[in-house]
Amino acid sequence: MNRSVIIVAGGSGSRMGSDVPKQFLPLAGRPILMHTIEAFYNFDNQMNIVLVLPAEQHAYWHDLCQKHLFNIDCQIVAGGATRFHSTLCGLAKVPPTGVVAVHDGVRPLVSMATLQRCFEAVEQHRAVVPAIPVNESVRQIEPDGISRAVSRDNYRLVQTPQVFDAATLHQAFRQPYSPLFTDDASVVEHMGVEVTLVEGNFENIKITRPVDLVLAEALMKKA
């Protein structure tokens, strides 16, 4: 079965307080994005890897690859104005058969076990998302501004990769864009496809703030 992954890396460094886009910040001596790509290559070195980057960052990425002797083969495409449009750009490089994952470029710590669960589950389901339980108390804000406690057992925190039957994802992304599309699974769900949850891994954090980078460094040293 053909396997592809679209790695979307269109972030900036604003919440990091950095002029360097967060996907290029160093983690254990190399850019975060290199660790992310390696995770998928180590899982399946025959996987078709599509990297979505803003057009103005392509030359910088090429320079980083030369500097760090990074030679994992990726197809690089320019992103769009939103996550929806960036995934759509990546899909242009993905065949309409097989399986395709969509992953955040700044989630370098996805485990092999999580990848295995996702790719195994998609053989039986058309849309698979890794998720983890909510550990803290949750309150819902009502329209009048008043909050109320809700059961955290009814909620899950969604991660990536979100993995799909390729034909299903291609069909879903032919829909017009909607601001209700919060992630790739919501696009598929919008056309009536059920989304199946599998167990993620707590280390699979999205690095968006300085504290996340500190935590990721500690987790990598522990591993």
Supply the pTM of this predicted model.
0.95
On whether the CB atoms of residues 183 and 162 are closer than 8 A, the answer is: yes
Let me know the angle formed at the C-alpha of 216 by 211 and 221, rounded to the nearest 5 degrees.
Answer: 130
Q: Which tokens in the block code for residue 11? A: 């972030």
Q: pLDDT tens digits, the chain, 223 residues: what are they?
A: 899 999 999 765 555 656 789 999 999 999 999 999 999 999 999 999 999 999 999 999 999 999 999 999 999 999 999 999 999 999 999 999 999 999 999 999 999 999 999 999 999 999 999 999 999 999 999 999 999 999 999 999 999 999 999 999 999 999 999 999 999 999 999 999 999 999 999 999 999 999 999 999 999 988 7
How far is Cα 152 from Cα 137, in angstroms, rounded to an integer? 6
| CA atoms 199, 200, 202, 206: torsion sign | negative
- DSSP letter string over 35-91? HHHHHHHHH-TT-EEEEEE-GGGHHHHHHHHHHTT-----EEEE--SSHHHHHHHHH
How far is Cα 210 from Cα 43, in angstroms, rounded to an integer? 28
pLDDT of the residue at 125: 96
Extents of the domains making up the chain = 3-222
Give the architecture (CATH level 2) of 3-222. Alpha-Beta Complex (3.90)
